Amino acid sequence: MDRELAMEFVRVTEAAAIASGRWMGKGDKIAADQAAVDAMRQAFDDVCISGKVVIGEGEMDEAPMLYIGEVVGAGGVKVDIAVDPLEGTNLVAKGLPGAIAVLAIAPRGGLLHAPDMYMDKIAVGPKAAGKININAPVIDNLTAVAGALERSIEDLTVVILDRPRHADIIKQVRDAGARIKLIADGDVSPAINAAIEGTGVHMLLGTGGAPEGVIAAAAMKCLGGDMQGRLVPESDADIERARSMGITDINKVLTIDDLVSGDDAIFAATAITQGDLLNGVRYFGGGARTHSIVMRYKTGTVRFVDAIHKYEKKPMLIKR
């Protein structure tokens, strides 16, 4: 993949964020999501890739665009694409922090074709890479991460989705003495935060969407962090769907290299609402300002992009 493509992918997430951000706090998550999807799909038309969506908005009969299997781009290098035009639909609808427009790109075959089901996840930053074990008790992982970071367990902050299914994990983390940051939606941003020093986040734990797990893994790989996942099927149909997508061992612990393979990957995200790492979209007369992150595994480059977008200002109509 050409390194210049990284900035092209930022423009894609910027377009989705600007379109979706207009719906912040308006209580309509469907409209916010649709705005992001429409803008992202249109922006892909100008990118010189032959991209195949492997993680997207659903099957062809479920989504009119950015559906699994759709080919996007203006032609060029063949890549697999994982997209979430709006991660955190409820966050935007309610005006809450943490919503992002996000995508991950890898050479063809480089992204796990994760089925739309739950996945157990654990993610940590570079200093704790290789120290985690998703099968180990929570206390063992906390101890290992604390040791890698040269601090006590009481100094760790763990991000967990605020869901009833996580009651036991939450209790174990609290009993161990670590601090917890409960989040309402979206676990891609917290995974990134765990891999970047200064965010105050040291680990992600819990069960979330498998597609989001692959996207987060791309970011973790670019940042030198570590992540493990394990699919959590809820029915025989989930198991069959996983098998149809090439996953034969449903109980396999998926390493970061299983989730994102090969020697190249690009991750890009633009904040829609305010986050711990990125500022949300801010609008002004005649334009908007966005804050994005883009990274590439092959080069180890991580860029923060603070951009001003100007557009034609429509004349204000004044009723007399």
Contact partners, residue 252, CB within 8 Å, separation at least 6: 230, 231, 258
Residue 315 lies in a domain: no
Residue 40 confidence (pLDDT): 97
Same domain? For 246 and 164 the reply is yes
Q: Are residues 99 and 125 in the same domain?
A: no
Predicted local distance difference test score (pLDDT) of residue 317: 45
Residue 294 lies in a domain: yes
Are 255 and 271 in a shared domain? Answer: no
> Would strands 100-107 and 118-124 be described as parallel, antiparallel, or unpaired?
unpaired
Q: What pLDDT sits at residue 316?
A: 45
In one-letter notation, the amino acid at residue 248 is T
CATH code of the domain containing 293: 3.30.540.10
Q: Which two tokens stand for residue 226?
A: 């570590």
> Based on the domain organization, do 274 and 218 belong to the same domain?
no
The annotated binding site for Mn(2+) is made up of: 33, 57, 84, 87, 212
Same domain, 98 and 139: no
Q: What letter represents residue 164's amino acid?
A: P
Question: Is residue 162 domain-resident?
Answer: yes
Alpha helices (runs of H) in the chain, residue ranges in sequence order? 5-21, 29-44, 89-94, 138-149, 167-176, 188-195, 210-223, 236-244, 256-259
The CATH number for 204's domain is: 3.40.190.90
Q: Does residue 124 lie within any of the structural domains?
A: yes
Q: What is the C-alpha to C-alpha distance for residues 72 and 41, in angstroms, rounded to an integer? A: 8
* Closest listed residue to residue 274, CA positions, set 179, 192, 191, 189: 189
Give a yes or no: residue 319 inside a domain.
no
pLDDT of residue 248: 87
Residue list for the binding site: 33, 57, 84, 87-89, 118, 163-165, 185-187, 209, 212
Residues of the chain with pLDDT under 50: 315-320
Residues 6+ apart with CB under 8 A from 2: 77
CA distance 297 to 182: 29
Domain shared by 92 and 143, yes or no: no
pLDDT at 276: 87
Record the pTM: 0.92
pLDDT of residue 62: 75
> Are 133 and 237 found together in one domain?
yes
Q: How many CA atoms lie within 13 A of 274 on its CB side?
A: 5
The string of pLDDT tens digits covering residues 107-119 is 999 999 988 899 9
Query: Residue 318's pLDDT is what?
Result: 45
Q: Which residues are annotated as a binding site for substrate?
A: 87-89, 118, 163-165, 185-187, 209
The CA distance from 202 to 223, in Å, is 14
- Asked if 122 and 69 sit in the same domain, the reply is no
Please check whether residues 161 and 215 belong to one and the same domain.
yes
Residue 189 lies in a domain: yes
In angstroms, the Cα distances linking 65 to 93, 102, 304 are 22, 16, 28
Q: What was the pLDDT predicted at 7? A: 92
Q: Report if residue 226 sits inside a domain.
A: yes
Domain boundary at 259, 281, 299, which?
Answer: 259
> What does the block give as tokens for 202?
């040291």
* Residue 163 buriedness (CB in 10 A; 0-12 / 13-18 / 19+): middle
Confidence at residue 319, expressed as pLDDT on a 0 to 100 scale: 46
Q: Does residue 316 lie within any of the structural domains?
A: no
Number of domains forming the structure of the chain: 2
What residue numbers bound the domain in which 227 lies?
A: 118-259
Do 100 and 123 lie in one domain? The reply is no
